[in-house]
Chains A and B, each alone.
Chain A
Amino acid sequence: MPRSCSLPLLLAGAALVAASPALAHPHVWITTRAELDYGPDGALRAVRHAWTFDPTYSAFAVQGLGQSTTGPVNPAALAALARDNAENLAEQGYFTQLKVDGRKQDVGPATDPAMTFTDGQLTLRFTLPLKAPVAGTASLEVFDPTYFVAFSLADGDGFATLKGAPAGCRATAHRPKSAAPVPAATGMSEAFFEAMTAASTYGVQFANRIVVAC
């Protein structure tokens, strides 16, 4: 029965359609700023992250932490949330990949977690100490391989600050080409339409990288 061969084909086709390609997309947008902390010997010893969440996720995260749905948020609850987040982030390696002179660096558990909520946006801060401080050209990438969280570097020069770095060290941002900036929370912006046309470069999200050369 040559024609019955189309049945398995049909099956396979139906299965493929049913299990339509798995595509996650971000539900959380984070703007990152990093402070690279150098020791007196010129070795990089810690990275302090400051992650600002988009207003929608911020609203979700502080849900129930204030007196009313629109009221101010309890600082003690924010501190607890910061601790929880810092702990849970360990499982994901803090979404952080740090290399010095091309070698991957291990970072210890996060310290000094803190959280602030201003103008409807949440900012999480925590420090990642390097297990072994090391000098050299540092490359810092922050990304979520599962795409649930979309990270992007803060605009302008805000993406990185150097603390106690040897003279002559400079941080440069390598941003994805034509990545759409997060639209301002007010009104429909051009960025929305840009995001649609710039779509094919979305995967270059991974190219968010800070390089500090000394």
Chain B
Amino acid sequence: MLSTLSLNPPSRGLQRLVLAALAILAACAVLAALLGLLAPGFRAPPRSPFGIGFREAAPTGATSLGAWLLAMQAGFSQALQAAVSAVKAGRDGTLTLIGLGFAYGVLHAAGPGHGKAVIAGYLMAGERALKRGFTLSLLAALLQAVVALALVGGGAVLLRLTAAGLNQAGTVIETAGFACVALLGAAVTWRKAGQLARLLNREAGPACGPDCGHAGLADGTRVERLTTLREQAGVVLAAGTRPCAGAVLVLVFALSQGILWAGVAATLAMALGTAITTGLLTALAVFAKALALRLAGGRGQGGAIAVGVLELWAAAFVLVLGAGLLSGWAAAAF
């Protein structure tokens, strides 16, 4: 960052900082409005004494759609437990268990989750390829399953941790995931602020032909691609690090019944289900971005700047979300 500042004329670096700061302020305003809408009071609920180490989002009250989802998910959790018992009893419950796990994943992902916000924010900020978005969703969901497996497999089976120990491990993992969100947001915000600053300067400068500014493009593209790969790894980490409570519970229950493999099967099925729902959201974000680009198309510099502002804002949203989650400020809604 410092080298970028010193290499550019000071006005450019300053401009970049100011743009980033403005975007962060705008993102703060929107997140605060969202929280006011979703979780009036801004207070994160106290951790439940019966919690399992990481928060689950807070309620908005029992609106009809919310109540419906709540009851569906509650029904599924209990049916999962019943299916594990059925497998234990030797009744043929394996397929039921996998089917239920899958459906639970689809529904669970329809609920709260910062992961979806991260993926959508990132896609709004940069990506526009549907396939890339789906891959990110799938990888994040699989990582979630792997973290749950590692937590229970490593913590409960190998280390014989108690519930309190698992809780502590869960809290550490959660915090690391939130830090990933903030870091990812910071990195993308900084990059997008730079892009917007360049765009704005070009507008002020002499008219630019199709060939101008393309010197050293090949090199630039490679750097860009590396940055993008790093960012995408960051997206998967940020969206998928926090395991799902349902998965951890079904794993520990299966373990207590002496059939851990049944829990593993259910957890993997859950991940696939989750990927479907997040994938749908991903598609929404990609189409929204495509729409924005089309609206901006043919508007020349003004349109390009509008898209640049949108991208920078979306990146700042991810940063603010991460900071909010870390500080507990945004935990009321995510």
Binding site for B on A (CB under 8 A): 1, 3-4, 6-7, 10-29, 53-57, 59-65, 69-70, 77, 81, 84-85, 88-89, 91-92, 120, 144-150, 180, 182-189, 191-193, 195-196, 198-205
Smallest distance from the beta carbon of B192 to chain A beta carbons, Å?
Answer: 14
Contact A15/B30 with A183-B79, A186-B86, A196-B72 known, Cβ cut-off 8 Å = yes
Binding site for A on B (CB under 8 A): 30-31, 34, 38-39, 45-46, 48-52, 56-75, 77-83, 85-86, 89, 91, 96, 110-113, 116-117, 120-121, 124, 156-157, 160-166, 245-246, 248-250, 252-253, 255-258, 281, 284-285, 288, 291-292, 295-296, 299, 302, 306, 310, 313-314, 317, 332-334
B residues less than 8 Å from A144 (CB atoms)? 48
Cα of A192 to Cα of B86 in the assembled complex, Å: 15
A residues less than 8 Å from B46 (CB atoms)? 91-92
Cα of A150 to Cα of B82 in the assembled complex, Å: 17
CB-based contact A189/B285 at 8 Å: no
Cα of A146 to Cα of B45 in the assembled complex, Å: 7
B residues less than 8 Å from A204 (CB atoms)? 62
Contact A199/B117 with A22-B60, A63-B256 known, Cβ cut-off 8 Å = no
Q: Can you list 8 A-B pairs, Cβ within 8 angstroms, ordered by A?
A: A11-B30, A21-B66, A24-B57, A24-B112, A54-B81, A60-B166, A195-B71, A203-B70
B residues less than 8 Å from A7 (CB atoms)? 292, 295-296, 306, 310
Cα of A29 to Cα of B306 in the assembled complex, Å: 50
Q: Which residue on chain B has the smallest CB distance to residue A3?
A: B295
CB-based contact A57/B85 at 8 Å: no
Most buried by A among B34, B116, B256: B256
Smallest distance from the beta carbon of B276 to chain A beta carbons, Å?
Answer: 15
- A22-B38, A149-B50 known; 6 new pairs, CB 8 Å cut-off, are A4-B299, A10-B310, A14-B284, A14-B314, A63-B255, A192-B75
B residues less than 8 Å from A54 (CB atoms)? 78, 81
Contact A65/B45 with A25-B73, A202-B67, A203-B62 known, Cβ cut-off 8 Å = no
B residues less than 8 Å from A62 (CB atoms)? 163, 256
A residues less than 8 Å from B164 (CB atoms)? 84
A residues less than 8 Å from B96 (CB atoms)? 188
Smallest distance from the beta carbon of B272 to chain A beta carbons, Å?
Answer: 19
Main secondary structure of the interface of B (DSSP, over half): helix
CB-based contact A20/B116 at 8 Å: yes
Cα of A199 to Cα of B295 in the assembled complex, Å: 41
CB-based contact A24/B163 at 8 Å: no
CB-based contact B111/A1 at 8 Å: no
Cα of A29 to Cα of B253 in the assembled complex, Å: 14
Cα of A55 to Cα of B254 in the assembled complex, Å: 11
A residues less than 8 Å from B70 (CB atoms)? 23-26, 147, 199, 202-203
Smallest distance from the beta carbon of A24 to chain B beta carbons, Å?
Answer: 5
B residues less than 8 Å from A10 (CB atoms)? 288, 291-292, 295, 310
B residues less than 8 Å from A21 (CB atoms)? 38, 60, 63, 65-66, 112
CB-based contact A56/B117 at 8 Å: no
Cα of A188 to Cα of B86 in the assembled complex, Å: 8
Cα of A201 to Cα of B62 in the assembled complex, Å: 9
CB-based contact A186/B71 at 8 Å: no
Smallest distance from the beta carbon of B317 to chain A beta carbons, Å?
Answer: 7
Which 4 pairs between the two chains have the least Cβ-Cβ distance? A203-B62, A199-B71, A88-B49, A195-B75
Contact A188/B74 with A27-B52, A59-B253, A70-B258 known, Cβ cut-off 8 Å = no
CB-based contact A70/B313 at 8 Å: no
Residue in contact with A26 in the complex, picked from B62, B74, B292, CB distance below 8 Å: B74
Smallest distance from the beta carbon of A127 to chain B beta carbons, Å?
Answer: 17
Contact A11/B313 with A4-B306, A23-B70 known, Cβ cut-off 8 Å = yes
CB-based contact A15/B34 at 8 Å: yes
CB-based contact B34/A19 at 8 Å: yes
CB-based contact B38/A185 at 8 Å: no
Cα of A186 to Cα of B291 in the assembled complex, Å: 51
Smallest distance from the beta carbon of A114 to chain B beta carbons, Å?
Answer: 16
Cα of A201 to Cα of B250 in the assembled complex, Å: 26
B residues less than 8 Å from A16 (CB atoms)? 34
Cα of A147 to Cα of B51 in the assembled complex, Å: 11
Cα of A161 to Cα of B93 in the assembled complex, Å: 39
Q: Which residue on chain B has the smallest CB distance to residue A85?
A: B49
Most buried by A among B72, B81, B166, B317: B81
Smallest distance from the beta carbon of B99 to chain A beta carbons, Å?
Answer: 11
B residues less than 8 Å from A57 (CB atoms)? 50, 249
Smallest distance from the beta carbon of B280 to chain A beta carbons, Å?
Answer: 10
CB-based contact B295/A196 at 8 Å: no
CB-based contact A195/B49 at 8 Å: no
CB-based contact B163/A196 at 8 Å: no
